[in-house]
DNA sequence: AATCGTCTAGACTGATCGGTCAACTATTTT
DNA sequence: AAAATAGTTGACCGATCAGTCTAGACGATT
């Protein structure tokens, strides 16, 4: 039941927005009643945080596989962006819109109003960035790119990736994710190196 | 009166979110009553679109000045990011948070629900990008960077800038905007050129 | 059988929401 | 001066909202 609620919440919040998603709608979607909702979660905000964590947990094993140290560093990023593109394209075929990243939309929406939820967003984003950090550190160690400060470079790349996700959502254009690879190479300074592809 | 309403709406929507901003709160802030609100605007959505347009109109003259063709191309971008940093820092000192860009937060929040408002966001963003396009085209023409497709490069840079704005809002850290300059140079491929700074 | 713990149900609460509308005031036009 | 227009007011509307709470069902344990 708990999972049904977090899944339903994730779908609705991702598709619309946190504020536009009502507890009633979540319950309808989950096939639950309000009493059950409040049995498991103290509030809508607590559910949203749980939904983001649950979604992250599901995605993490995919990321572990894609970013495995056995995969060449730049190829990890290349595959990851393909993975994200394919995920968003599939979700688009189901609900008609490119939805971008829920961490960004929720984070952006509630950042000045709900510090608990915002901390959840921050924490998960940090974990996502750590995959980028290790890929970039490895690429630097292998002489594929120059990134003396892998962390800063990872944050830069991540910001660009985030911006592209937001743009894709606003413009409802999933191909922007695919095009992002060129940008990523620029940020990494790997544009003129015979790596990737 | 109409301006007081658009100003109030802009402040509240920027600071919180579109959904979390009520018509009552906007009227309170503007020193108006509901009847007046609905005399001037058909709906909350129409007011939000008008508020974004009004804000853009106010900013455009600043952008015209900063991106004037009499200013060296890369310096236009440099100055613009300083301008944005200073604006956000000032707004932060007033309300306690880094607010990022209202076009992004509103666009992201309502992109699947209100097509009129989304089109307004899209239109304004396109106009903002055109400043980037011309600066990059000029920089390419002057041999400062290599950007055979100025439009694509401008879109890439803009996406990165957007991602940084969103990050700054979620993390409430305005210095990310300042740090963005390094990223911009990477995206432009101007990192190793003796330009800017 | 009684008790306990877990979970479900749904009526209910007070507040808030976007929007409506008749009455009124102030200014402009005829 | 009268009429028309522009603008203001705020009570009101039905709907929705997050959350509360009591009652009940069910399974496990004593």
Q: What is the pLDDT of residues A95-113, one digit of tens each?
A: 999 999 999 999 999 999 9
Q: Is the CB of B20 under 7 A from strand D?
A: no
Among A11-20, A77-86, A88-97, B188-197, the minimum mean pLDDT is found in: B188-197
Smallest CA–CA separation between B70 and chain A, in Å?
28
B13 touching A (Cβ < 8 Å): no
Q: In Å, how far are A63, B3, B57 from B37, measured between CA atoms?
A: 49, 11, 21
Q: Can you tell me the distance from the alpha carbon of A159 to that of A184, in angstroms, rounded to the nearest whole number?
A: 10
Interface predicted TM-score (ipTM) of this complex, two decimals? 0.91
Q: Can you tell me the distance from the alpha carbon of B45 to that of B58, in angstroms, rounded to the nearest whole number?
A: 20
Mean pLDDT over A28-32 rounds to: 95
In chain B, what residues touch A158 (CB-CB under 8 Å)? 163, 167
Q: Is position B107 within any domain?
A: yes
Three-state SS for B137-167 is HHHHHCCCCCCCCHHHHHHHHHHHHHHHHHH
Q: Can you tell me the distance from the alpha carbon of A163 to that of A57, in angstroms, rounded to the nearest whole number?
A: 23
Confidence of residue B189 (pLDDT cuts 50, 70, 90): confident
Q: Is position A24 within any domain?
A: no
Cβ contact (<8 Å) for A161 and B163? yes
Q: Is the CB of A172 under 7 A from strand D?
A: no
Protein-to-nucleotide distance from the CA of A30 to the C1' of C11, whole angstroms: 20
Q: Is position A36 within any domain?
A: no
Q: What is the CA radius of gyration of chain A?
A: 18
Query: What pLDDT, on a 0 to 100 scale, did the predictor assign at position A196?
Result: 43
Q: Is position B194 within any domain?
A: no
Q: Can you tell me the distance from the alpha carbon of B86 to that of A149, in angstroms, rounded to the nearest whole number?
A: 27
Q: Look up the CATH number of the domain holding residue B130.
A: 1.10.357.10
Mean pLDDT over A106-123 rounds to: 96
pLDDT in tens, B54-105: 999 999 999 999 999 999 999 999 999 999 999 999 999 999 999 999 999 9
- Number of structural domains, chain B? 1
**Which single residue is written with the structure tokens 């993390």?**
B171
Query: What pLDDT, on a 0 to 100 scale, did the predictor assign at position A189?
Result: 83
Query: What pLDDT, on a 0 to 100 scale, did the predictor assign at position B195?
Result: 42
Write out residues 105-144 of A within 8 Å (CB-CB) of B: 105, 107-113, 118, 121-122, 125
Mean pLDDT over A134-143 rounds to: 96
Query: What pLDDT, on a 0 to 100 scale, did the predictor assign at position A63?
Result: 97
Q: Can you tell me the distance from the alpha carbon of A104 to that of A13, in angstroms, rounded to the nearest whole number?
A: 12
Query: What pLDDT, on a 0 to 100 scale, did the predictor assign at position A190?
Result: 77
A110: exposed, middle or buried (C-beta count within 10 Å: 0-12, 13-18, 19+)?
Answer: buried
- Which domain range does residue B94 map to? 52-188
Q: Is position B27 within any domain?
A: no
A182 touching B (Cβ < 8 Å): yes
Q: Can you tell me the distance from the alpha carbon of B35 to that of B15, in angstroms, rounded to the nearest whole number?
A: 25
Beta-carbon count within 10 A of B95 CB: 13
Protein-to-nucleotide distance from the CA of A44 to the C1' of C11, whole angstroms: 20
pLDDT, averaged across chain B? 93
Q: Is position A8 within any domain?
A: no
Q: Can you tell me the distance from the alpha carbon of B126 to that of A61, in angstroms, rounded to the nearest whole number?
A: 38
Q: Is position A81 within any domain?
A: yes
Please name the residue ranges forming H helices in A96-149: 102-110, 115-141
């Amino acid at each position: 039941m708990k999972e049904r609620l977090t899944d339903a919440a994730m779908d609705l919040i991702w598709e619309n927005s946190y504020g536009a998603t009502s507890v009633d709608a979540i319950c309808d979607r989950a096939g639950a009643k309000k009493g059950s909702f409040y049995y498991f979660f103290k509030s809508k905000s607590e559910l949203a945080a749980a939904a983001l964590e649950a979604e992250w947990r599901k995605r993490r094993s995919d990321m572990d596989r894609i970013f495995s140290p056995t995969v060449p560093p730049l190829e990890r990023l290349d595959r990851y962006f393909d993975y994200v593109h394919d995920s968003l394209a599939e979700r688009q075929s189901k609900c008609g819109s490119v939805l971008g990243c829920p961490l960004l939309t929720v984070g952006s929406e509630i950042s000045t109003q709900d510090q608990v939820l915002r901390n959840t967003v921050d924490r998960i984003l940090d974990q996502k960035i750590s995959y980028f950090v290790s890929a970039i550190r490895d690429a630097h160690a292998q002489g594929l790119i120059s990134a003396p400060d892998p962390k800063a470079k990872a944050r830069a790349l991540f910001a660009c990736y985030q911006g592209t996700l937001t743009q894709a959502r606003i413009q409802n254009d999933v191909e922007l994710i695919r095009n992002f690879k060129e940008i990523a190479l620029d940020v990494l300074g790997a544009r003129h190196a015979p790596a990737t592809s």
